Amino acid sequence: MGKGGKSHEETKSGEDENMAAWLVGLNTLKIQPFKLPPLGPHDARVRMKAVGICGSDVHYLKTMRCADFVVKEPMVIGHECAGIIEEVGSEVKNLVPGDRVALEPGISCWRCDLCKDGRYNLCPEMKFFATPPVHGSLAHQVVHPADLCFKLPDNVSLEEGAMCEPLSVGVHACRRANIGPETNVLVMGAGPIGLVTMMAARAFGAPRIVIVDVDDNRLSVAKNLGADGIVKVSTNMQDVAEEVERICKAMGGGVDVSFDCAGVNKTMSTALSATCAGGRVCLVGMGHHEMTVPLTPAAAREVDVIGIFRYRNTWPLCIEFLRSGKIDVKPLITHRFGFSQKEVEEAFETSAGGGSAIKVMFNL
């Protein structure tokens, strides 16, 4: 298994037990012992204090897989996390016990061509929290490379530190799409990733942002969080042309960049159709493995289509956005739970149920 720990079968009796939330079967989570590996010279042992639930966590729980990653044996869940340093390895110079840190969850190899080129998020040997067969971080403690533990300023809470992970998706998307003060932005989807992408776009200087969703409650949240315009849409493909007209009217000008934070036929078709000639569409969400979309008309208008996968080198900027107040993620945390068997089950039910839940957070 991954860096974070060993299978619970390896726990020796008589030792102090580190407990974690294990995905042990379809729709089945159990709090069980989680033995930590030895602390390496460049590692840190971190006591988890805040862990958020991501859509991928729910997907693993409901289907035992996410895209091509399949859970074949019990796995500790969770990857959006922050905590307090308990111990550091002999070669760690930048952290000391007691430091509050946010953890970047992916460990790349640093040897392949992609890593050497700086695109470590695409490393084929990536070991990422709660991505089979690597264990996650919904545990009392984990061991993690110290260089992936980022100190939090005094005015940034541990919950906000855990939110650096979803926020990083929005920050990476904005970098890929070259968002700036002259970029009008359309966001398809007002779920958690759509909302953090909207926030990141504003922090990058986007002057006008319109967000689209099928749900009135999510659109209301987006408006309260700073969207300049909101457009309610249907799930019907026949409505795309009329909805593009309403989107352009709400924008009051051309759409320079569209972020598809859902990744289904309808949202991608709308994004491609709404984006102006010479603009960009960034595919953030991955709802469908394959899509049928009007690519030829978009190509004729030289609309660039770009993808993102996770993020790279985003934690320092995310932390600075939080420290400076340019981004406030606190309103996104709608539900909080402790770390008992009952609360873990209730938390995942709340997250999976949607409704008013945006980000569900564990306080350990």
pLDDT over 50 (residue 11): no
Token pair for 177: 């799409």
pLDDT the model gives residue 5: 52
Query: 10: pLDDT confidence band, cut at 50, 70 and 90?
Result: very low
Dihedral of alpha carbons 329, 358, 344, 171, sign? negative
Segments making up each domain of the chain, as ranges: 19-151+329-363, 169-307
Cβ count near 90 (within 10 Å): 10
Whether pLDDT at 9 is above 50? no
Is pLDDT of 1 > 90? no
* Interval 313-320 mean pLDDT: 98
Task: Give the span between the Cα atoms of 46 and 308, in whole angstroms.
Answer: 29
Q: Is the dihedral of CA 305, 55, 109, 69 positive or negative?
A: negative
Average pLDDT over residues 78-84: 98
d(CA 68, CA 246) in angstroms, rounded, equals: 37
Percent of residues, the chain, with pLDDT higher than 70? 96
State the pLDDT at residue 58. 95
Categorize the per-residue pLDDT at 107 as very low, low, confident or very high, splitting at 50, 70 and 90: very high
Question: For domain 169-307, which CATH number applies: 1.10.3720.10, 3.40.1190.10, 3.40.50.720, 3.40.50.2000?
Answer: 3.40.50.720
Class of CATH domain 19-151+329-363: alpha beta
pLDDT score for 68: 85
59 CB neighbour count, 10 Å cutoff: 15
Instruction: Give residue-wise pLDDT tens across range 253-298.
Output: 999 999 999 999 999 999 999 999 999 999 999 888 889 999 999 9
